[in-house]
Amino acid sequence: MKSLRNYIDKIKPQFKKGGKFEKLHSTFDAFETFLFVPDKVTYKGAHIRDAIDMKRTMSVVVFALLPALLFGMFNAGYLYHLSIGETASLWKNLLYGATEIMPIVAVSYITGLAIEFIFAQYRGHEVNEGFLVSGMLIPLILPVSIPLWMVAVSTAFAVVLGKEAFGGTGMNIFNPALLARAFVFFAYPASMSGDKVWVNGLLEKAPIDGFSGATPLGLAMTGQINNIPDMHTLFFGFFPGSIGETSKLAILIGAVILIITGIGSLRIMLSALAGGLAMGFIFNLLAPAFAPIPENQILINYFSISPIMHLLMGGFLFGIVFMATDPVSASQTNTGKIIYGFLVGIFSVMIRVFNPAYPEGVMLAILLMNTFAPLIDHYVVQANISKRLKRINITK
């Protein structure tokens, strides 16, 4: 490492102002700070110094995502071999999953970082580390069979229109990873829904009798409530779904890492869980009222789903742990985080039940609440100001 440091210091003057490659200063700075943590994180003004900066923050989130990524690799291999009637070892499943998933991760990072570097060079800004997380989140919320060109197009859409159009990292209104998923979901719905989408290889090989590639939400949408996997299977994640969203155990491990390190908001996570459970209980209470209406059978089925099952199905838990807690697009005030998270939970289940065509309600719920997060914070701040003014008037 010392020789690498010496080499970087040797060529560094060529990338500074007046150097031969001064126009590539942003690119050089990005590679240097990626390899070595800079000794200065602030240059002017009053700041609260802390031991953590953006690079460390992003690194912690990526580390928290690793359990979901590793399980996604195993699950892809496990379901593939299951679909063709084979029993494979742990390492064989992992190897198969890695060969299918790592290209998706690579395309996501290459596309996103290339755009980030281009904009940084054009603006003369530093390359921020924000995409380190988005580049990992995007593959984890997509099916393993997604074509690589769709990954590139959706990533480009998310970075250009979701981040750079608003000024880059820290300025975006919406979560970039969710924008990428929404783009693919609405632009190429055939690649995001259907029994054979979720397990790579089923499009080329006919599955064995009795094997289904349907997700739990897909089963619910078609009225096959009794075929939804049990809670044990849903918790551990041995069923088809997006790469990183199936194993709730892996997601909870990531959640613990984010909470212990102070990166993820416990307020948002708990309030979102409370909102999802509350909405699920309300629908359970309303289910008998719709029972006499035969044409509403699918709606009745959704109304009857256990609130706990709502939390375990689909990407609900993954969304509230890794995307609803986005420090940029979520609410910033403590009270605002509780309101924001609770509404994310409510709308996630509400969209899932009332519009089965879009069963993954957490995606639309978080994007919707990203829009209202600044408004929530505004009213929370105004309410605090009003309380303090009343106290001042009382003391007078």
Residue pLDDT, tens place only, 263-281: 889 999 999 999 999 999 9
Q: Based on the number of CB atoms within 10 Å of its own CB, is 62 exposed (0-12), middle (13-18) or buried (19 or more)?
A: middle
Q: Identify the residue whose tokens are 């809670």.
A: 231
Q: Which domain holds residue 7?
A: 2-35
pLDDT at 42 over 60: no
Would residue 19 count as lying in a domain? yes
Percent of the chain's residues with pLDDT above 70: 70
Would residue 248 count as lying in a domain? no
Out of 99-113, 124-138, 302-316, pick the least confident.
Answer: 124-138
Would residue 275 count as lying in a domain? yes
d(CA 307, CA 277): 5
The model's pLDDT over 141-171, given as tens digits with 9 standing for 90+, comes to: 998 888 999 999 999 999 888 887 776 666 7
Mean pLDDT of 83-97: 87
Q: Please count the structural domains in the chain.
A: 2
Would residue 270 count as lying in a domain? yes
Would residue 185 count as lying in a domain? no
| Per-residue pLDDT at 87 | 83
Per the CB < 8 A criterion, the answer to whether 140 and 246 are in contact is no
Quickly count: other Cβ atoms within 10 Å of residue 2's Cβ.
6
Out of 97-106, 128-137, 152-161, 313-322, pick the least confident.
Answer: 128-137
Q: Identify the residue whose tokens are 């690119």.
A: 27
d(CA 46, CA 101): 44
Any alpha helices (H) in the chain, and if so which ranges?
2-11, 25-35, 54-83, 90-123, 131-140, 148-162, 176-187, 216-221, 231-236, 248-260, 266-290, 297-304, 307-312, 316-318, 334-354, 361-395
d(CA 273, CA 315): 13
d(CA 76, CA 198): 9
- Four-residue CA torsion sign, 335, 338, 340, 342: negative
| Per-residue pLDDT at 46 | 45
| Per-residue pLDDT at 203 | 44
Quickly count: other Cβ atoms within 10 Å of residue 122's Cβ.
10
| Per-residue pLDDT at 50 | 55
pLDDT at 124 over 90: no
| Per-residue pLDDT at 352 | 84
- Mean of all residue pLDDT scores within the chain: 80
Would residue 172 count as lying in a domain? no
Would residue 381 count as lying in a domain? yes
Angle, in degrees to the nearest 10, between helices 90-123 and 131-140:
140
Q: Based on the number of CB atoms within 10 Å of its own CB, is 49 exposed (0-12), middle (13-18) or buried (19 or more)?
A: exposed
d(CA 187, CA 150): 10
Tokens of 183: 């783009």
Intra-chain end-to-end CA distance of the chain, in Å:
65
Give the three-class secondary structure for 341. helix
Would residue 124 count as lying in a domain? no
How far, CA to CA in Å, does 138 sit from each of 111, 193, 289, 375?
12, 17, 40, 27
pLDDT at 205 over 60: no
The model's pLDDT over 294-337, given as tens digits with 9 standing for 90+, comes to: 555 566 677 778 899 889 888 899 999 999 998 888 999 999 99
Contacts of 348 (CB under 8 A, 6+ apart): 272, 275, 276, 279, 316, 319, 320, 361, 362, 365, 366
Give the three-class secondary structure for 205. coil
> Of residues 220 and 283, which shows the higher confidence score?
283
